[in-house]
C-alpha cells in the first residue's frame, strides 16, 4: 500500500453492500476498504474485505473512528429504514468534511392491478388491518411490537432474529430470511391463508418475492413508506456507486 492510499468506509447491512464489498475492492485495489455491520444479526455474510462489527457509539464514536482510521470517503449502503445510522453518517461526514455517498435503491412501485394502501408509519399500518385479517408481517424484530396489540388478527411474522418480547400466542413466528422465489412466498401465503401483506417499502430485488406473490394472489398490501433521510448525494446502483467513488477518490479530498 502506498502512503497516499485512501480508506473507504462501507456501511453495510444490505445485499447491495455485499456486492459493493467485492466491487469496491476490485475497482480500487490500491486503496483500503473497511466494511461495517451493526451486528444486529448473528450470521453475518463475509464481504471478503476487512470488517468491523458493532455500533460506533453515536456520532461521537463515529467521528473518533473516522479520524483514527483516516477515512477518506464513506459509502452508506445501509437499509432505507436504518435512519439513525444514515443520520449519524451525514452529521459526521459534514463535521469532518468527508465525502459521503449513499446507495439509494429505488422504492417499489405498484402496478395497475396492485392493491396497495400507502401508510407513513408502523402505527398506521397496524391500524389499517381489518379485524379478522390474516396478515403476513415483514416488519422486523424492532418494529413488530407496534402490531402485537392487534390480537384480533392473525400475524405471521417473519424476521431473522427473534423479537425481544413474545408474540401473541395465536400468532406464528417464522425465523428466516426472505426466500428468493415468488413461488415459495405464494406457497407460504396459501398455506397460512394470508389475506393481507404488511411490508416496508424496502425496494431492491432481495425481498421482492413477497410483492410478486401478493400481486399473483391479488392480496392487499399495506405499504409503509420510507422514512426521510438526511440530504446527501445518492447513487441508485452498485455500479453507479463505484463510478462515483472513482471520481471522489481521484479528486483527492
Ligand atoms: P439504525 O436504527 O439506523 O441504527 C441503529 C444503530 O445501529 C446505529 O445508531 C449504529 O449504532 C448501529 N448501526 C447501524 N448500522 C450500522 C452499521 N452498518 N455499522 C455499524 N453500526 C451500525 O439501523 P437498524 O434499522 O437497527 O439496522 C441495523 C442494520 O441492519 C443496518 O446495517 C441496516 O442496514 C440493516 N438492516 C436494517 C433493516 C431495517 O428495516 N431497519 C432491514 C434490513 C437490514 P451507533 O449509534 O452506536 O453507531
190-205 pLDDT, tens per residue? Answer: 999 999 999 999 999 9
pLDDT at 4: 73
pTM, rounded to two decimals: 0.94
Q: Would you identify the CATH topology of the domain 7-105+228-251?
A: Rossmann fold (3.40.50)
Cell of 151: 390480537
pLDDT at 67: 98
**Strand spans (E) along the chain:** 7-11, 32-37, 51-53, 73-76, 100-103, 116-119, 134-138, 154-159, 172-175, 196-200, 221-224, 233-235
79 lines ligand 1 (CB under 6 A): yes
Angle between helix 15-27 and helix 238-251 axes, rounded to 10 deg? 40
128-187 pLDDT, tens per residue? Answer: 999 999 999 999 999 999 999 999 999 999 999 999 999 999 999 999 999 999 999 999
Is the distance from CB of 1 to CB of 32 less than 8 angstroms?
yes
**Side-chain half-sphere CA neighbours of 226 within 13 A:** 17
Cα 45 to averaged position of ligand 1 atoms, centre (Å): 15
233-243 pLDDT, tens per residue? Answer: 999 999 999 99
Task: Average the pLDDT over 31-57 and give the result.
Answer: 94
219-234 pLDDT, tens per residue? Answer: 999 999 999 999 999 9
Q: Does CATH place domain 116-224 in 3.30.360.10?
A: no
124 lines ligand 1 (CB under 6 A): no
227 lines ligand 1 (CB under 6 A): no
Domain ranges of the chain: 7-105+228-251, 116-224
Average pLDDT across the chain, whole number: 95
37 lines ligand 1 (CB under 6 A): yes
Give the nearest ligand 1 atom to 81 CA. 41
Is-same-fold flag (7-105+228-251; 116-224)? yes
Amino acid at each position: 500500500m502506498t502512503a497516499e492510499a485512501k480508506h473507504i468506509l462501507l456501511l453495510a447491512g444490505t445485499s447491495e453492500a455485499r456486492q459493493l464489498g467485492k466491487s469496491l475492492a476490485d475497482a480500487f485495489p490500491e486503496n483500503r476498504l473497511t466494511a461495517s455491520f451493526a451486528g444486529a444479526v448473528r450470521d453475518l455474510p463475509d464481504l471478503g474485505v476487512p470488517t468491523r462489527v458493532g455500533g460506533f457509539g453515536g456520532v461521537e464514536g463515529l467521528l473518533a473512528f473516522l479520524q483514527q482510521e483516516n477515512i477518506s470517503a464513506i459509502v452508506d449502503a445501509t437499509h432505507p429504514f436504518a435512519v439513525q445510522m444514515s443520520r449519524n453518517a451525514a452529521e459526521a461526514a459534514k463535521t469532518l468534511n468527508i465525502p459521503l455517498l449513499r446507495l439509494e435503491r429505488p422504492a417499489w412501485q405498484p402496478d395497475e392491478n396492485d392493491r396497495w394502501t400507502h401508510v407513513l408509519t408502523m402505527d398506521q399500518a397496524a391500524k389499517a388491518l381489518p379485524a379478522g385479517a390474516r396478515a403476513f408481517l415483514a416488519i422486523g424484530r424492532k418494529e413488530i411490537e407496534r402490531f402485537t396489540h392487534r390480537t384480533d388478527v392473525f400475524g405471521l411474522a417473519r424476521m431473522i432474529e427473534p423479537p425481544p418480547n413474545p408474540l401473541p400466542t395465536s400468532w406464528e413466528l417464522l425465523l428466516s430470511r426472505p426466500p428468493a422465489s415468488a413461488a415459495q412466498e405464494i406457497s407460504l401465503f396459501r398455506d397460512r391463508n394470508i389475506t393481507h401483506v404488511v411490508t416496508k417499502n424496502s425496494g431492491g430485488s432481495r425481498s421482492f418475492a413477497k410483492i410478486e406473490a401478493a400481486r399473483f394472489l391479488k392480496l392487499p398490501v399495506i405499504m409503509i413508506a420510507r422514512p426521510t433521510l438526511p440530504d446527501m448525494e445518492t447513487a441508485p446502483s452498485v455500479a453507479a456507486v463505484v463510478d462515483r467513488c472513482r471520481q471522489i477518490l481521484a479528486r483527492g479530498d
